[in-house]
Structure 1
Amino acid sequence: MNIEKRVVELVEEKIAEIERPDLFLVSAKLHSNGKLIILVDGDNGIGIAECVAISRYVGFKLEEENVIETAYNLEVSSPGIDMPLVQTRQYTKNIGRDLAIKLADGSKKEGTLTAITQDAVMINEIIKQKGKKAELMESVIPLDQIAETKVTISFK
Structure 2
Amino acid sequence: MVAPAPAQRVRQVVEPAVAEVGLLLEDVEVTRAGAHSVVRVVVDVPEDDEGELDLDRVAEVTRAVSDALDAQDVVAGEYTLEVSSPGVSRPLTQRRHFARAVGRSVSVRLVDGGSVSGRLTAVERGAQDADDAVVVVPVTPGLKGRRPKNGAPVRILLADVRDARVEVDLSGLGPVDDDDVAGPRADAAGQES
TM class by smaller structure: 0.7 to 0.9
Structure 1 position 135, deviation (Å): 6.4
CA distance in 2, matches of 1:142, 1:31: 37
| Aligned amino acid, residue 27 of structure 1 | D
Map of 1:80 onto structure 2: 87
Identity among equivalent positions (%) equals 24
Map of 2:165 onto structure 1: 150
Q: Where do 5+ consecutive residues of structure 1 fail to align?
A: 129-133
Map of 1:10 onto structure 2: 14
Q: TM-score, normalised by structure 1?
A: 0.72
CA distance in 2, matches of 1:102, 1:9: 35
Q: TM-score, normalised by structure 2?
A: 0.61
Distance of aligned partners of 1:73 and 1:95 in 2 relative to their CA distance in 1, 3 Å threshold: same
Map of 1:37 onto structure 2: 40
CA distance in 2, matches of 1:88, 1:35: 30
Match of 2:152 among 137, 145, 150: 137
Distance of aligned partners of 1:32 and 1:120 in 2 relative to their CA distance in 1, 3 Å threshold: farther
Greater fraction strand: 1
2:111 aligned with 1:104: yes
Deviations 1:42-96 (A, max 9, x none): 2421121221222222222223212233654321111211222233222112212
**Higher Cα Rg, which structure:** 2
